[in-house]
Structures are given as C-alpha cells and as structure tokens.
Amino acid sequence: MLSKKTKYGLKALTYIAKSEGDTPVQIGEISKSENIPQKFLESIMLTLRKSGFLGSKKGKHGGYYLIKKPAEIKMSDVMRVLEGPIAMVPCVSLNFYEKCDDCPDEHECSVHKLMIQVRDNTLYVLRSNTLEDLAGK
Amino acid sequence: MLSKKTKYGLKALTYIAKSEGDTPVQIGEISKSENIPQKFLESIMLTLRKSGFLGSKKGKHGGYYLIKKPAEIKMSDVMRVLEGPIAMVPCVSLNFYEKCDDCPDEHECSVHKLMIQVRDNTLYVLRSNTLEDLAGK
DNA sequence: TGTAATTCCTATTAAATCGATAGGATTAAT
DNA sequence: ATTAATCCTATCGATTTAATAGGAATTACA
C-alpha cells in the first residue's frame, strides 16, 4: 500500500511542475489546492529538499522549486526516497537488500523468484515515468 | 512490503504442491522445514482453507492438501486473500476499490495514472504465475 | 527597524497494523 | 482411552503511520 506520505509528495511535486511561474511555490498553496494537511506536507517537502529534488527559499515570499527538469526526475528515485524499497521483499531489493531470516538459500525460494519478476516489472514502470509524465507534459 | 503472512502462506502452498504423497501435509512438518512459527502458520492455513485453496483432515494423521491443481492456482488470487489489494492505492484497485478523500476527480490525479500502470504490470506477473510455477514444475 | 510571512526543525501522539503467542475445543486414528 | 492433529478466539507487544504542536530561523517590505 502506498503511504500517504508518498502520495502527497508525488502530488506536490506534480503541482510544482505544473506551476509555470519562476516564483517559488508555497506549502500553503499546495496544501489547500491538493487537500493535504499543511503540517504533514511541511515534513514531506523537507524530505524532498534534503534528498535533492527541491530547492527552497525561506522567509516571506519563500517556497519550493524544482532543482532538476521534470523529465529528469524518475519516479523510481522519488519512490525510493519517500516510500523506501520498491521490491516487496528485502531479499530482492536492489538498493535495500537484506537476507531473509527464514531462507537458508534464497535461490531455492519460490517467493524470491516470484518477487523478482514483480520487482522488475514495477521498476520498469517507475523508471520510464518521469515527473514530466505525471504533470501531463 | 510483503507481509510475513503472505510470504509464509506462499511457502506453505509451495511445500504442499511439491510433496508428492496422497497423505495430507501437517503444519508441524511445514513449520519445521520452512522455519515458520507453528502457531502463526496455523492461522494462515486456516485462512487458506476458508478461502478455498486448501482442504483439511482433522485429528491424528490429519493435515492439509490442495483442492485444485497447482496450475490452476493463480498467484493473484492467493495474494488477494493473504495480502489484500494488489493495487498500491485503493482508487485503482479492481477488487477493493475506494475513492480517495483528497481527490475531487481521480481522472485528473497524477498518482492515479501512475499507479494504474504499476497495477497492470504487477497483475500481469501475478496472473501468469501459478503455484505450479512456484513449485518449479 | 519592526512586523508579517514563510521555511526549518524536533518532539510527541493517537491509531492502526503486524507478527506472534496462549489456551483450549474439537475431531479422528489407534 | 490416549494421542495427535486441526480449529477457534482472544490477546499482546512492537512497529509504523499520519498527523499535530510549538517554536526557531530567515526574509520581504512598509
């Protein structure tokens, strides 16, 4: 299940990508427009800034802006920052690999084999969609 | 993230599919062989029986057996019973649809569009894999 | 220079979910 | 009868999630 954090984060990024102007976009505006609790959105924006997707301007007339072009922001990267691993089990995760407690040999594991396929397909979708796609060109 | 419940359930089904004999397979045996807490596995087997994947025999020499052929058990169906919706957001779920609180119009929602793609790809994998595939033919 | 508006930061909380356990009731083979 | 298995309900502790609280720091502008 996608967390609200990720969902809100994606919506906020999309909102910023769509907003044409060169003035930064404010949390309050996004929050109202997208029905996202403002304080919650604050913490999400902070995460997105710290992980290099957004830049910010403080103080009056401050706000957030994209650092890269929407076409260069892959959904797989955003998801990893907000949601964590893309794989459904740590033992098939490329970026967050962990061995399973219960599996003596993961190459023998039926779940492992299935989850690799799921991961590859999900990854394909998330890598081929960028923020530009989400923002509708 | 795949729950332990689902993971254990899939492993147990695979184990039963692999066990050739015509005597039912016992929880204790699966539990030991697959390193699954026995009491936890009990409740999972119960779920799988109630949802029509397994039959059971009670009492001494009892146990569980498959009701359908492995090739007829699609992973998508097992996942829905153990894990719940396959979609990452309820608003793109085929079997567990729910409207989002925050979206006035889901056709305008960028997350919605992305998650439909993820769902379709995941569904493809889970529908084309059966228990026969997991059990390695 | 001071006031308003904004991001920044840390901590806390309430509720839900997850993984597991407990304890026995029921059923069947020997 | 006894043993061994499934069946059933309830509970528990830990973790995670979604959200809130409260203020510090920074900036624009009158």
pLDDT bucket at A32, cuts 50 / 70 / 90: very high
Does A91 reach chain B within 8 Å, measured CB to CB? no
In chain B, which stretches have pLDDT less than 50? Answer: none
> B35 and A101 in contact (C-beta within 8 Å)?
yes
Is the same domain home to A82 and A125? Answer: yes
Is the same domain home to A91 and A123? Answer: yes
Between B75 and A137, where is the model more confident? B75
Is the same domain home to A43 and A78? Answer: no
Is the same domain home to A60 and A82? Answer: no
Q: Give this prediction's pTM.
A: 0.95
Which chain A residues 81-120 have CB under 7 A to strand D? none
Q: Of B31, B105, B118, which to mutate for an interface test with A (greatest number of A Cβ within 10 Å)?
A: B118
**Contact between B121 and A125 using a beta-carbon 8 Å cutoff:** yes
CATH number of the domain to which B30 belongs: 1.10.10.10
Domain that holds residue B13: 4-66
Please measure the distance between the N-terminal and C-terminal CA atoms of chain A and give it in whole angstroms.
Answer: 27
**What confidence score (pLDDT) does residue B137 get?**
60
Q: Over 90: is that where the pLDDT of A21 sits?
A: no
Other CB atoms within 10 A of residue B44 CB? 23
Is the same domain home to B58 and B96? Answer: no
Partnered with residue A130 across adjacent β-strands are A74
User: Around A109, how many Cα atoms within 13 Å sit in the side-chain half-sphere?
Assistant: 23
Q: Over 70: is that where the pLDDT of A137 sits?
A: no
Residue in A7, A75, A118 nearest the CB of B125 = A118
Q: What is the mean pLDDT of residues A93-107?
A: 93
Please measure the distance between the N-terminal and C-terminal CA atoms of chain B and give it in whole angstroms.
Answer: 27
Is the same domain home to B39 and B54? Answer: yes
Is the same domain home to A11 and A62? Answer: yes
**What percentage of chain A reaches a pLDDT higher than 70?**
99
Give how many domains chain A has, as a whole number. Answer: 2
Question: Which contiguous run of DSSP H or E holds residue A56?
Answer: strand A54-57
